[in-house]
A and B are shown apart, each in its own frame.
Chain A
Amino acid sequence: MRRIPRLRTPAPAGFAPSSVPASALRAPPVTVTAPSTLSSTPRLTTRASHTSQTRRYLSTTPLRAAQTQQPQNGQGPAEDLQSLAEDDAELYEAPTPTEINTQLVYPYGVTTAPLTAEVADPSYKPAETADGLEEVGGLSGWWDEPTHWGSEGGVAGYVHSATSRFGPAERVTDSAVLEVLTKRAIVEAIVVAKFARANKRKHIDRLFAHSDALHRLEKIVRAEIVVGKNGEATIKENADWQRVYGVLKAAARYARRQEEGEETGERDVAEAQEVEAKEAETPAIEELTPEVAKSLVESWDKGWKKAELRDPVVKFFVSFPFHLVLFMLKLLTPALQAAKRIQQLTGHRVPDGKLLSALTIDSLLKQLVEPPKPKKLAELVETQGVFKDLSNVRVFPRRVTPIDKEKMVGRWKIIVKELEKRDLPVIGTGKHSGPIEKKWIEGKA
């Protein structure tokens, strides 16, 4: 049954923004256009068989929404509409399935069995029970089939490609890698808060957007974080401030020039190579594996974690580079560079409340690598080793049953043997009825 009339109704009332007061609480008009039922609007007689209903799903992209909202042909009385529809119906025709560029696989030409009342054959006698009837068709499980989503990963792949995520699909869980990336983030945040206009997010976005996790990583994490006055985190060497800021700015500048045009590209490449050569004193990190990260972490002085992060703006940006985008320039061929794929880094969202309680870098790190909450108390006891010094305390993951107790003292096998010898059920009552007194004892009768 088609629910949406193919002809876009020309009634502006249906698509006009709902008559809600323009309050701050209202969504932008694109999203609040709740079309009223189309039944009040004139309808094509030829389409009368199709019930017109409220559209349940609306576009949220401004372009399409605007197209939909466009009032078509002013007042639109019924006869005008009909003649219009006859003249150039294709103009108003919703896109036909062939025009829609989609990877989704949907059933085409579905036929439904006629209702009992519609069957003309007088000899037809409807079944009264479902026993023995064959089940045919049905669309209830259509989207459970991964191939119907048209992409490799089924629904997950489809959703991943359809929505933008500011964070990778999988979070970074290795503690050493997290620590390295955290240090990078903190160094950059401290530097940016000092030099850049820290309250201008877009400005800093630009700075961060073009330097991914591996971009000059070794140069940035080399900067030493120390406990400054008041215990606040700061960077030790004066040269480091400039260097880190320079790295960020250079990346942003480089990216902007590349966007500006190809003519400057050659000069940029030469310039970039020059910069590369100049900075070649430290070996660049190709890939941040847990081993590499561990060796990096071990090379640092442990004192840096004691420093405190106080400025909320610094903290905000500390949580920012976790979502830094990674341009996979190395992996992409020049042809694909136009469609630079963005891959995101670690994807840990640090909630404000936790950020607030994390005074020092150390506690921030601990929150990042916090394991998921155990589902059972026994798991928690196990991981924390609460009772490991108490030899007389044991923790079981489930209830200790009478059988367990017998097993503990080694009597269970004997019990089983004796019961079997007497042809009695080992567990439960078997063919014998249960104790008839039980219900009296339990007060149920």
Chain B
Amino acid sequence: MAGKGMKSLSEALRGLSLAAQPSRTLPTRQASVVCRRAMATAIDTKPANITRSVTEPWDPITSVPLTIYSFPSLEPRSLESWSPKHLHLPLRRDILHLAVVYEGDKTRQGTASSKTRWEVHGSHRKIRPQKGSGRARAGTRQSPLYRGGGKSHGPKPRDFSTKLNRKVYDLAWRTALSYRYRRGELIVTEDGMELPLPDDFLQLAEAGVLGRELEDSFVCKYVAELMTALQWDKNHGRTTFITGDRRPNLFTGLDIAGENGRALELEDVDVKDLLETGRIVIERSALREMIKEHSSDLISRVAVKGLSNKPTLGQVLVR
């Protein structure tokens, strides 16, 4: 309240000052002449393939392209073709919600604990005689009614984890990836993604002339600038990097410049991580592994003409 009052007071003082603008009227947004033009940049909102005539045959897409980039130059290096069941699933918010809640439950520590009246230390001697004192009858001092007594129905360590069918959870993984893919926020890089640090800095660090403070502040600035140049920085919603194992420069650099992004090893990633931050930058093999590990719902026992319809992992189109 006080803060708000101060704000409006200072606002008023500013308004009354001589330097105040002549007109302090609330600006009304009426589309100006410039903005009223038909924007050549507007996206046509008509979605494709929503309705079709019964006479038209149903012709869904059978594969989606996936470009593999180099990092950090972002040069397209190869092209792969993936099944839409892997990277182009429809968005199911409900399934994503189930998965995120499931993960949240599973990661609850569940160690809250309090003592019942039977666990509180002390003698169980009757505090005072049952009758004659003129006061309420009282048993032991561990009674929950007393200060210092036990806690009735208090928390005890327990497992909060809930269950989710594996096939639903795996679908959630690929739904999250598909969501990123469709929004253009899934950037797949070549294997061995690592933050390139300039050679002169590395030599200086090796010679030990900089010291830890200078080294770290250098890397912090360097990473921040690199991310800004790529438009991956905090103003663009941060970036999650996913690699197969720990890469020293990338992980240390993003630890230091954590406001601009985070780096995760594949085994530390969960669905919620895929849905956070502005974009996901993932190694090719890490993505393959991730999809391979999470496709239990695609396995079918039904084989048509001896062939199962399980989609294969990405095929290289252009190398």
- Name A's B-contacting residues (CB within 8 A): 1-6, 20, 23-28, 31-32, 34, 50, 55-61, 64, 94-97, 100-104, 106-108, 110, 139-140, 142-144, 155-156, 158-160, 162-167, 169, 175, 198-201, 312-313, 315-316, 319-320, 323, 349, 351-357, 359, 363, 366-367, 369-371, 378, 381-385, 388, 394-398, 400, 404, 407-408, 425-429, 434
Is the CB–CB distance between A159 and B203 below 8 Å? no
Is the CB–CB distance between B207 and A25 below 8 Å? no
Contacts of A100 in B (CB 8 A): 200, 203-204, 207
Is the CB–CB distance between A97 and B209 below 8 Å? yes
User: Nearest Cβ in chain B — how far from A28, in angstroms?
Assistant: 5
Encode B80-101 as 1/0 by CB contact (under 8 A) with A.
Answer: 0100000010000000000000
Contacts of A163 in B (CB 8 A): 72-73, 196, 226
Contacts of B198 in A (CB 8 A): 158, 162
B150 at interface by CB-CB < 8 Å: no
A335 to B233, CA, bound (A): 39
Residue of B nearest to A27 (CB): B192
Which secondary structure characterizes the binding site on chain A? loop
User: Nearest Cβ in chain B — how far from A411, in angstroms?
Assistant: 13
Is the CB–CB distance between A155 and B225 below 8 Å? yes
User: Nearest Cβ in chain A — how far from B316, in angstroms?
Assistant: 9
A132 to B29, CA, bound (A): 52
Is the CB–CB distance between A57 and B249 below 8 Å? yes
User: Nearest Cβ in chain A — how far from B192, in angstroms?
Assistant: 4
Residue of A nearest to B24 (CB): A407
Is the CB–CB distance between A428 and B202 below 8 Å? no
Can you list 18 contacts pairing A with B, beta carbon distance less than 8 Å? A56-B215, A61-B196, A100-B200, A100-B207, A102-B203, A106-B209, A155-B221, A163-B73, A165-B229, A351-B185, A352-B184, A352-B186, A366-B40, A371-B41, A382-B32, A384-B42, A388-B31, A388-B36
Is the CB–CB distance between A427 and B8 below 8 Å? yes
B258 at interface by CB-CB < 8 Å: no
Residue of A nearest to B7 (CB): A428
A26 to B35, CA, bound (A): 52
User: Nearest Cβ in chain B — how far from A252, in angstroms?
Assistant: 18
Q: Of B51-59, B159-167, B238-246, which binds chain A?
A: B238-246
Instruction: Report B242-262 residues with CB < 8 Å from chain A CB.
Output: 243-249, 252-253
- Name B's A-contacting residues (CB within 8 A): 1, 5-6, 8-9, 11-12, 16, 24-32, 35-36, 39-44, 48, 61, 63-67, 70, 72-79, 81, 88, 181-187, 191-222, 225-226, 228-229, 243-249, 252-253, 266, 283, 285-286, 289, 317-319
Give me 13 other A-B pairs in contact (C-beta within 8 A), A353-B184, A382-B32 excluded: A24-B285, A27-B245, A34-B248, A56-B215, A104-B201, A143-B218, A144-B221, A162-B196, A169-B229, A351-B184, A357-B182, A366-B44, A428-B6
Given A201-B318, A427-B8, verify A407-B204 contact (CB < 8 Å): no
Residue of B nearest to A438 (CB): B1
Is the CB–CB distance between B9 and A428 below 8 Å? yes
Instruction: Pick the 5 closest A-B CB pairs, nearest first.
Output: A351-B184, A25-B244, A427-B12, A102-B200, A166-B75
A230 to B300, CA, bound (A): 35
Is the CB–CB distance between B204 and A110 below 8 Å? no
Quick one: which of A60, A156, A349 contacts B229, CB cutoff 8 A?
A: A156
Residue of A nearest to B243 (CB): A27
Given A59-B199, A201-B319, verify A369-B244 contact (CB < 8 Å): no
Contacts of B222 in A (CB 8 A): 155, 158-159
User: Nearest Cβ in chain B — how far from A175, in angstroms?
Assistant: 6
Quick one: which of B74, B207, B215, B220 contacts A57, CB cutoff 8 A?
A: B215
Quick one: which of B9, B201, B285 contacts A25, CB cutoff 8 A?
A: B285
Given A139-B213, A159-B226, A316-B65, verify A426-B12 contact (CB < 8 Å): yes
User: Nearest Cβ in chain B — how far from A86, in angstroms?
Assistant: 20
Is the CB–CB distance between B225 and A156 below 8 Å? yes
The listed residue with most B CB atoms (<10 A of its CB), out of A50, A56, A156, A349, is A56
Is the CB–CB distance between B249 and A142 below 8 Å? no
Which secondary structure characterizes the binding site on chain B? mixed
A316 to B81, CA, bound (A): 11
Quick one: which of A2, A25, A64, A397 contacts B29, CB cutoff 8 A?
A: A397
The listed residue with most A CB atoms (<10 A of its CB), out of B25, B75, B209, is B209
Quick one: which of A103, A396, A428 contacts B200, CB cutoff 8 A?
A: A103
Residue of A nearest to B65 (CB): A312
User: Nearest Cβ in chain B — how far from A310, in angstroms?
Assistant: 11
Given A31-B192, A97-B209, A166-B73, verify A397-B27 contact (CB < 8 Å): yes
Is the CB–CB distance between B9 and A427 below 8 Å? yes
A217 to B77, CA, bound (A): 25
A163 to B214, CA, bound (A): 21
Is the CB–CB distance between A2 and B208 below 8 Å? yes
Quick one: which of A6, A56, A382 contacts B248, CB cutoff 8 A?
A: A56
Contacts of A427 in B (CB 8 A): 8-9, 11-12
User: Nearest Cβ in chain A — how far from B314, in angstroms?
Assistant: 11
A144 to B222, CA, bound (A): 11
A200 to B29, CA, bound (A): 53
A315 to B67, CA, bound (A): 11
Is the CB–CB distance between A4 and B205 below 8 Å? yes
A20 to B245, CA, bound (A): 10
Contacts of A156 in B (CB 8 A): 225, 228-229
Is the CB–CB distance between A104 and B204 below 8 Å? yes
Residue of B nearest to A176 (CB): B40
Quick one: which of B65, B76, B206 contacts A4, CB cutoff 8 A?
A: B206
Is the CB–CB distance between A428 and B194 below 8 Å? no
Contacts of A369 in B (CB 8 A): 40-41
Contacts of A5 in B (CB 8 A): 208
User: Nearest Cβ in chain B — how far from A363, in angstroms?
Assistant: 7
Residue of A nearest to B202 (CB): A59
Is the CB–CB distance between B202 and A316 below 8 Å? no
Contacts of B285 in A (CB 8 A): 24-25
Residue of A nearest to B220 (CB): A143
Given A95-B203, A160-B229, A200-B319, verify A394-B11 contact (CB < 8 Å): no
A106 to B200, CA, bound (A): 12
A384 to B45, CA, bound (A): 12
A26 to B217, CA, bound (A): 28
Given A4-B208, A356-B88, verify A198-B5 contact (CB < 8 Å): no
Is the CB–CB distance between B44 and A57 below 8 Å? no
Contacts of B199 in A (CB 8 A): 59, 61, 64
Contacts of B318 in A (CB 8 A): 198-201, 313, 316
A103 to B198, CA, bound (A): 11
